[in-house]
Structure 1
Amino acid sequence: MKPQERGLEVKAKTYTYDTKAMHGYWAGLCLSVWLLLTYSQPAISQDQPGVGSSPAAQLQKAHGLSSQVEKLRESGKYAEAVPLAQQVIIIRESVLGLEHPEVATSLNALAVLYIRQGRYEQAEPLLRRALATREKALGAEHSDVARSLNNLAALHINQGKYTEGEPLLLRALAIREKGLGLEHPEVAKNLSNLATLYSYQGKYIEAEPLLSRALTILEKTLGSTHPSVATATNNLAEVYRNQGAQYAKAENLYLQALKITEGALGPDHPNLAFSLNGLADVYRDWGKYSQAEPLYRRALAIAEKTLGPENPNTARSLNNLATLYLYAGKYSQVESLLQQSLTIRQKSLGNEHPDVARTLFSLAELYNYQGKFDESDSIHLRALSIRKKALPPDHPFISESLETLAVLRTRQKKLQSAVQLLESSLGIQERNLTLALSTGSEKRKRDYLATLAKTTDTALWLHQQVASQDTEAARLAMTTVLRRKGRLLDALSDTNSALRQRLEPDEQKLLDELTATRSNLAALVFRGLEDDTPEQYRAKVAALETQAEQLETSLSRRSAEFVRQSTAVTLDSVRQQLPADTALVEIVQYRPLNLQAVERDKQFGAARYAAYLLDSQGKLQWLDLGEATSLNAAATALRQQLQNSERSAAKLKPLARRLEQKLMAPIRRKLGNPRRILISPDGMLNLLPFATLIDERNRYLVENYTISYLSSGRDLLRLGRSQPAVQSALIVANPNFDNAETARTRSAGEGRRRSTEPVAADLGKLRYDPLPATAEEAEAIAELLPEARVLTGKNATENALKQVRGPGILHIATHGFFLEEVEEQAKNPLLRSGLVLAGFNQRDSGGDDGALTALELSGLNLQGTRLVVLSACETGLGEIASGEGVYGLKRALTLAGAESQLVSLWQVEDEGTRDLMVQYYRQLQQGAGRGEGLRKAQLNLLKSKQYSHPYYWSSFILSGDWRPVQGLFQSAAGR
């Protein structure tokens, strides 16, 4: 990508270099002679200054020619401008001498034209000479020196010499900030160029804030319709496109840049081709091929018309169009386009330029799809070699080459080489992922993770479908799962933990603002439309969401160093956290690679489930569980039937047995007979109560195993870290949803559920009935936790709950809710799940509205909280995200810092839940682990006459730390 293509700011009055690289005075003199000999005839063909012309007249003519050059350059008519720029140099050298600053300006102007034409070898000596002249005549800190530095750096970026360009840009930026101030447009252009350099090095995190700052300065000083604003907007869009699946945001920015450029420069300006190519790239990556093609063709036509058929920008358009056809499976048109692009790029850029590697990569992919594996392999190796020489060692393009070669070697039956190449690629991605997750909002991090989904699928496919007996492939697949599954949750938890451990006053202020913004957002959601139109309502929600995202980003940056230093995840580090008689079952959903696919968006097949099993001795086993659709359907059917207490348990068992045969029986055969199973489910299996599955002896699995849940096996590392001392417990129960005068009661035996069923569909009109059995539940639990604080009735408010700081146990017995997405209402699943507290029906709960959403709950400080029990309906539900679990209350509690969570999978009955909870706490009091205590309580209900149906005992699952809670039950132990 070239100046206008890369979005580099190159101006006629800019660009230079460092004197250490100067050829010296004689080199400059030889250059001027070379210019005179080469260009004197066309430049002096008419009205040439000659003998008798006064110096003033000659300089006046040079000034006029310079103005023409500037106008032609701004219009994109570079070829017409070159001979005029050459003539300016001749005049000024003859009148002013070789080392005058105006001569340097003229040299710079001609060099800029050469850069725009892709004539880099001719531009470089001009820029070096101009820099040396300016440094000598004006001093090292002059703004013209900064211009020369900036332009020489831009040249190096176009040449692919990124390491040479950075120090020049940094020096230029320092000069400009010192001499012009922090908000000068020249400073902004320097920032934009520096960001572009970082972007091409794959340093997107460093690039984005520079571009945001540059864009703000340019809009403020030059106006929103200036071409320089379009350039910075283009560059920011490019960062968003490369940094993650933020296609909508990138599309919007490219469209803005297109409008500015076309309005300011016309429909055929070369700069317009940059925006067209960028927007087409977005549509191509988005899979919108029909929208991309006309944009690529228009960009190509502009480049050929204004820059010529052999310009590097023309080569880029040819390459992009070919890549589009490659993605779409239209191979017949690809090779000729790529060969044209390769010829131009090699001639204009040299054989070792990264853009040459880009074309070679696409050509190798074409041969791969055509079955020409040896040719493809050879070209891929050449592209990889260029990238390794030209780019930083962890550049995404190097990872791309390694991964693609790995798949190719798989097709060539070279499995050992394939595994090694893929391991190297995944190593680069892991290092980049660690950096990407260290800053930015949750949405930005989630988008970046989404870009890596295909490589996760590739690693699992390679092992499960190709090299199923290969131990190294298995270890690589399992390591990849541990690194990526639940990774976002882990990163966000680390960020929150770091902030809570060292909150400075300014950080506390930001955190308070974020908490308030989330509360305002939740209040807006549960207020409903009221007098707003749908458009007004959406605008208010969007504004609060944007504000929250900006605050998240600011807080994330402050904890970035902590996250970057987080412990690497390995099989051995996870194994060390497994107790004896315990097995980790990591279930993962993946899409197998389809090597026969023609179109890129069809290269992965239907999702499947795989399981990886690890025990405390380090033994790793694995198996394929089959198509995800089938298992998901069976799991959903069983869960639906379990929620019906009227359906006899005997009729449920065949359904539970069939699912067990598909899912857990193969796993159990490999595991042997561990006492405890830690399951990390994926997809819809997150909502399956594994304890209800029936084995070959017609027994529930709960009768033989203690089953606890993890978001990922990597959770074991977080749970293994030391935590603050345990504080006393807090019990919140039986909230008064109305005021004291209107509170309702119900008759005994009514069997009320802790239900999510609203009185009205409008969130603003939701109403809930009281739950008297929760008061009995709280009283019984408080007897086992004599130091516990109890909040009931009108005191069980949302505001009171928000003030808690790390209670050892937090028990909340109330209504819970998870609402399906409804148009015009909350899109964020963390706003659609939550708990109902005192005053909800009146929307007054100690200053809040009484609905504690998962989003608000995630902001609580539960650092050091050993266990949170949500004794309410459907508190384990939420929106399923493959690889990230369930977006709901359980996730929110993990983000808040809780070690473990007891949550429900369906609407639970009031009395049955009370009895389960009381028995659970009695087991904890007697020293049982959090997981084993639940199992024993479930077995007690299973043996009872009233609650033997799995509807009553299997609705709750434990996620997180399964070990005993220490300290809180000591005073009750002797009772």
Structure 2
Amino acid sequence: MNYKSLFLPLVLSSLLLSDAVRATSKTQDLQIAQQPTPPDATRAAARQALLEGLELSYKQGTAESLRQAIAKWQIALPLWQKLGDKSYEALTLHLIGRVYSDLGEKQQALEFHNQALPLYRAVGDRSGEAITLNNIGAVYSDLGEKQQALEFYNQALPLFRAVGNRSGEAPTLNNIGGVYSALGEKQQALEFYNQALPLWRAVGDRAGVATTLNNIGLVYSDLGDKQKALSYYNQALPLRRAVGDRAGVATTLTSIGGVYSALGEKQQALEFYNQALPLFRAVGNRFGEATTLNNIALVYSDLEEKQQALSFLNQALPLYRAVGERAGEATTLNNIARVYSDLGEKQQALSFYNQALPLRRAVGDRSGEALTLFNIANVERDKGNLETALTQIEASIKIIEELRTKIDSQDLRTSYFATVQDYYQFYIDLLMQLHKKEPTKGYAAQALHISERSRARVLLELLTEANAKIRKGVDSKLLAQEQSLQEQIDAKDKLRRDLISKAAPATTIQKLEQEIANLLSQYQQLQTQIRTTSPKYAALKYPEPLKLAQIQQQLDANTVLLQYSLGKERSYLWVVTPNSLDSYELPPQAQIEKAANDFRQSLVTVSASGEQQAAAAKQLAQIILTPVANKLANKRLVIVADGALQNIPFAAITEPTAQESYQPLLINHEIVNLPSASTIAILRQETQKRPKAPKAIAILADPVYSADDSRVTGKPENNSITPELDLQRSALSRSARNLNRNGWDRLNGTREEAETILKLGSPKDSLAAFDFDANYDWVTNAKLNQYRIIHFATHGFADDVNPELSGIVLSLVDKQGKQQRGYLRLNDIFNLDFPADLIVLSACQTGQGREVQGEGLVGLTRGLMYAGSPRLVLSLWDVDDEGTKELMTQFYRQMWQEGKSPVAALRAAQLSLWQNPTWRKPLYWAAFTMQGEWR
């Protein structure tokens, strides 16, 4: 029997430096012990020593058993050399190298791998050569030599492919992904992980699948998407348990603990870390043990148990050093420094940060380098060295800016940017403290620029891509995939909403939500592929956020910009006119946001009294407007809000100089909102040369939501309406809350609103869609680009978990009552061409979205601006059907009969309701805000 043909491939499968591969190879390796003993006594002895070493290397995986394995292989090695069997000599050398690497003795590992490599080449064993190259790469990666590691991985990969070894190709792709992740190039990492995953699955390697799932989770966690990270970890964990991969189980438990810690659930995090720690110790995985100790320390530090934190960190540090893990060593030094800083021992903290920084640089950990520079800047500021702190934070921000540009996915770029907002807030605060010391040095203007750099960057980039028509020339197959995914997402989310309305079991809904999440993830990946394969993408140049002089050029003499930046310790307000800049220090974010939330709550609570609303409006005005009251003087106010201020209508805040108990800001000011000051420059650049559309208005209203609607052929009027339901419907809002067991309630006011608006204009310049015509096909028809105004009067809904699912409701059934696609979602809107001067969403919550630090409210606003409109009218809460009809009628009358600009017309319409006792409450008129261009 040719035992060599059986033995070598099986043992080689265990050589890749991956716990996943080793776990699945164990059974195969040990099966060789059952093969007949070869007749040659020397060969038999060598083989026996090799097998005993393999047994020991799998026995518990402890340091003692690993060293015993090496001793056995050291017996086998000279025997193979005596026999002149280079294949087995190479194999034995490689096994020794692998175990030395596991023991943290990396230089020893390299020595043995480098002896094995030429032997594999000499016998023409390309699989063995590829595995050795991969494992040398892994040693260099562990030593922090990431570029060196990449070189070896990139030599191994084509060899694996050449011999058709997918079991080797998958871990190499996974390892390359790990290098890119460590270098901060998370998008690149994801691409390699997503190549590895189907290969693992194809070869039936569940442990490998789990390893890559865990690594994908780590990327999402690093980029700030903790829930998505948790989803991947929860897929990895049962796989690792099923294959008995204890080190893998411990790794995933630690990863899950990290998510809970980041979400503020510290005790939950400790539970997972304390499950992981004994597992790492049991298998002798010192790297995993050190990482878990480090993470436990961070929890204790956050719980203000600083000495306990130091104790764990001081256990982790020698373990990292013992295994030559410089990246982990740097992280631990950084964390020790942070604890000393919290304890007030600033000089001691600096000493540890200055030990961590060169290590971060040596291993190419750009993200870690940025963090340590940020931490040094904090210490220097606390010591009063503001200029030194400025140098450090500037260096840190430079790295952050470089890293974000390497993320092609807009969603991941957004979530990553949210994780580094503390850096920008610190930078702004530092500049404003320097401004306080030296007010003539231009620090306030620089702080305003940094405020611009910290907000709505992805929106700016999206608008630039829209202007460049980046989707033109994209592979039609990708666009077809996109359309298919959109339809699947729409269908499943519609089913989810139906199940919710019918009180279906929670488990059924949760399963559907997971399917939707998976589809959304595929959609995001496809969007990135569409963008990056666009012929125009490579040449695209994104704009820089505006500086003071450029912002001032966007303003006119009658306009004042108010830009807010909310910080934990102090907040700031910049007041900009065409020829001036004034800045003000405001209270901490928590105080401002409480006042803003109280004010909003008073507006949307039907039972709130006028006195309660007036008190809440006055309290907020005193905090955010009274300091600048003398700068406003009947000017148009352009608001760049931050945090909870994005959710409130400035028009309803009390005028800070008013003598009355409540005089809304609306009375003396036109008010416009912007995601950032830089946004208006991009919008103007996009529209300045665009010809005006020839026709006036396209309007959609009163869609058919249900097969029970009397408008459906052959359906009688539904008279089974209880008095309670009738009373409820008399005060309908255009809201997702009107999704009930019978579907969406019909909004009669939307038809009346639309018919009244159409009477104010010329029929030949108008296009209307009512009833069944108010459908998805009408909205997505290219003929809408002929109209200056596009108006939707229907239900709207905001999804603050998955903003992509936000949208407006169109006709959900056809004339026969058959269901059809009827939700126009954010993803759909991104694919529309709406070069209208104005888009009005006369529906609920259309100005809402998920609040993302650094990006603002992610919702319909960005989609509609991307589609081509420079100005939008949107709502901040559930609007009343009758009140909205009245407001919109007045709005169009002011525009078309009085000749006012949209922003002036909206103010006049809101004033008319304010002056009418029936509609005087801000609940009826304040929800709608103007976003974008005011000229």
TM-score (ref. length: structure 2): 0.81
Aligned counterpart, 2:637:
677
Q: Is the aligned partner of 1:213 residue 2:210?
A: no
Aligned counterpart, 1:713:
677
Question: 1:734, 1:770 within 8 Å by CA — same for their partners in 2?
Answer: no
Aligned partner (choices 698, 701, 705) of residue 731 of structure 1:
698
AA matched with 1:569: P
Aligned counterpart, 1:71:
55
Aligned partner (choices 100, 106, 125) of residue 120 of structure 1:
106
AA matched with 2:306: Y
Aligned partner (choices 419, 429, 443) of residue 451 of structure 1:
419
Q: Measured at CA, do residues 145 and 288 of structure 1 come closer, stay the same or move farther in structure 2, by a change above 3 Å?
A: same
Give deviations 1:226-255, integer Å, cap 9, x for gaps. Answer: x44443344333333323242x44445445
Residue 651 of structure 1 deviates from its aligned partner by: 10
Equivalent positions of 1:776-855 (< 5 A) are 776-783=755-762, 786-804=764-782, 805-812=784-791, 814-818=793-797, 828=802, 831=805, 834-835=808-809, 837=810, 852-855=823-826
Aligned partner (choices 176, 181, 189) of residue 199 of structure 1:
181
Aligned counterpart, 1:38:
none
AA matched with 1:485: R
Aligned counterpart, 2:357:
384
Question: 1:758, 1:768 within 8 Å by CA — same for their partners in 2?
Answer: no
Aligned counterpart, 2:222:
242
Residue 901 of structure 1 deviates from its aligned partner by: 0.7
Equivalent positions of 1:834-913 (< 5 A) are 834-835=808-809, 837=810, 852-855=823-826, 858-859=829-830, 861-872=832-843, 875-876=846-847, 884-886=855-857, 889-905=860-876, 906-907=879-880, 909=883, 912-913=886-887
SS in 2 for 1:705: coil
Aligned counterpart, 2:27:
none
Residue 202 of structure 1 deviates from its aligned partner by: 1.9
Aligned partner (choices 571, 589, 603) of residue 639 of structure 1:
603
Residue 360 of structure 1 deviates from its aligned partner by: 1.6
Q: Is the aligned partner of 1:551 residue 2:526?
A: no
Distance, in Å, in 2 between the alignment partners of 1:535 and 1:929 is 51
Residue 345 of structure 1 deviates from its aligned partner by: 4.0
Q: Measured at CA, do residues 844 and 189 of structure 1 come closer, stay the same or move farther in structure 2, by a change above 3 Å?
A: farther
Give deviations 1:855-909, integer Å, cap 9, x for gaps. Answer: 4663451342221023456644566666554465545433544221113453252
Give deviations 1:922-957, integer Å, cap 9, x for gaps. Answer: 278x4x543244345556777899988877765532
SS in 2 for 1:222: coil
Does 721-730 or 66-75 show the bigger shift?
721-730
Does 853-862 or 102-111 show the bigger shift?
853-862
Aligned counterpart, 2:893:
919
AA matched with 2:347: D
Equivalent positions of 1:30-45 (< 5 A) are none
AA matched with 1:111: G
Equivalent positions of 1:723-762 (< 5 A) are 723=687, 724-727=690-693, 728-735=695-702, 737=704, 738=709, 740=711, 755-756=733-734, 762=740
Aligned counterpart, 1:19:
none
SS in 1 for 2:836: coil
Aligned counterpart, 2:621:
660
Give deviations 1:465-512, integer Å, cap 9, x for gaps. Answer: 897556676456434432333345445555666554444412321332
Q: Is the aligned partner of 1:482 residue 2:423?
A: no
Residue 708 of structure 1 deviates from its aligned partner by: 1.0
Distance, in Å, in 1 between the alignment partners of 2:506 and 2:599 is 38
Distance, in Å, in 1 between the alignment partners of 2:904 and 2:567 is 31
Residue 381 of structure 1 deviates from its aligned partner by: 1.4
Aligned counterpart, 1:332:
307
Residue 768 of structure 1 deviates from its aligned partner by: 1.5
Aligned counterpart, 1:86:
74
Distance, in Å, in 2 between the alignment partners of 1:249 and 1:939 is 45
AA matched with 1:205: Q
Distance, in Å, in 1 between the alignment partners of 2:239 and 2:612 is 68
Distance, in Å, in 2 between the alignment partners of 1:763 and 1:856 is 27
Q: Measured at CA, do residues 220 and 941 of structure 1 come closer, stay the same or move farther in structure 2, by a change above 3 Å?
A: closer
Distance, in Å, in 2 between the alignment partners of 1:683 and 1:845 is 47
Aligned partner (choices 627, 651, 657) of residue 696 of structure 1:
657
Q: Could you list the runs of 5+ residues in structure 1 that have no partner in the other structure?
A: 1-8, 16-53, 593-607, 745-750, 964-975
Aligned counterpart, 1:774:
753
Distance, in Å, in 1 between the alignment partners of 2:613 and 2:304 is 49
Distance, in Å, in 2 between the alignment partners of 1:874 and 1:111 is 61
AA matched with 2:793: T
Give deviations 1:175-197, integer Å, cap 9, x for gaps. Answer: 1112216xx11110111111122
Residue 210 of structure 1 deviates from its aligned partner by: 1.6
Distance, in Å, in 2 between the alignment partners of 1:263 and 1:811 is 56
Q: Is the aligned partner of 1:930 residue 2:902?
A: yes
Q: Measured at CA, do residues 640 and 534 of structure 1 come closer, stay the same or move farther in structure 2, by a change above 3 Å?
A: closer
SS in 2 for 1:396: helix
- For these two proteins, the number of residue pairs brought into alignment is 862
Distance, in Å, in 2 between the alignment partners of 1:450 and 1:177 is 39
Aligned counterpart, 2:20:
none
Question: 1:65, 1:85 within 8 Å by CA — same for their partners in 2?
Answer: yes
Residue 346 of structure 1 deviates from its aligned partner by: 4.0
Distance, in Å, in 2 between the alignment partners of 1:214 and 1:949 is 59
AA matched with 1:156: Y
Residue 397 of structure 1 deviates from its aligned partner by: 0.1
Question: 1:679, 1:708 within 8 Å by CA — same for their partners in 2?
Answer: yes
Residue 91 of structure 1 deviates from its aligned partner by: 1.1
Give deviations 1:8-46, integer Å, cap 9, x for gaps. Answer: x9966569xxxxxxxxxxxxxxxxxxxxxxxxxxxxxxx
Aligned counterpart, 1:431:
402
Question: 2:574, 2:581 within 8 Å by CA — same for their partners in 1?
Answer: no
Q: Measured at CA, do residues 757 and 159 of structure 1 come closer, stay the same or move farther in structure 2, by a change above 3 Å?
A: closer
Aligned partner (choices 569, 574, 594) of residue 612 of structure 1:
574
Aligned counterpart, 1:510:
481
Aligned counterpart, 2:169:
187
Residue 445 of structure 1 deviates from its aligned partner by: 4.9
AA matched with 1:174: P
Give deviations 1:371-392, integer Å, cap 9, x for gaps. Answer: 2211211221121122123315
Aligned counterpart, 2:149:
165
Question: 2:161, 2:169 within 8 Å by CA — same for their partners in 1?
Answer: yes
Distance, in Å, in 1 between the alignment partners of 2:280 and 2:860 is 54
Give deviations 1:306-361, integer Å, cap 9, x for gaps. Answer: 549xx5555445444444433333233344543444345445539xx333322221
Question: 2:887, 2:909 within 8 Å by CA — same for their partners in 1?
Answer: no
Question: 1:754, 1:873 within 8 Å by CA — same for their partners in 2?
Answer: no
CA-based RMSD: 4.1
Q: Measured at CA, do residues 95 and 610 of structure 1 come closer, stay the same or move farther in structure 2, by a change above 3 Å?
A: same
Give deviations 1:548-603, integer Å, cap 9, x for gaps. Answer: 331232122321446984222242485165133233212233323xxxxxxxxxxx
SS in 1 for 2:761: helix
Q: Measured at CA, do residues 59 and 245 of structure 1 come closer, stay the same or move farther in structure 2, by a change above 3 Å?
A: same
Aligned counterpart, 1:48:
none
Distance, in Å, in 2 between the alignment partners of 1:326 and 1:890 is 40
Question: 1:731, 1:789 within 8 Å by CA — same for their partners in 2?
Answer: yes
Distance, in Å, in 1 between the alignment partners of 2:153 and 2:89 is 23
Distance, in Å, in 2 between the alignment partners of 1:531 and 1:274 is 38
Distance, in Å, in 2 between the alignment partners of 1:935 and 1:196 is 55
Aligned counterpart, 2:543:
567
Give deviations 1:805-830, integer Å, cap 9, x for gaps. Answer: 534433325343458x9xxxx96566
Percent pairwise identity: 20
Give deviations 1:747-779, integer Å, cap 9, x for gaps. Answer: xxxx98773379976254332242353244332
Distance, in Å, in 2 between the alignment partners of 1:468 and 1:625 is 16
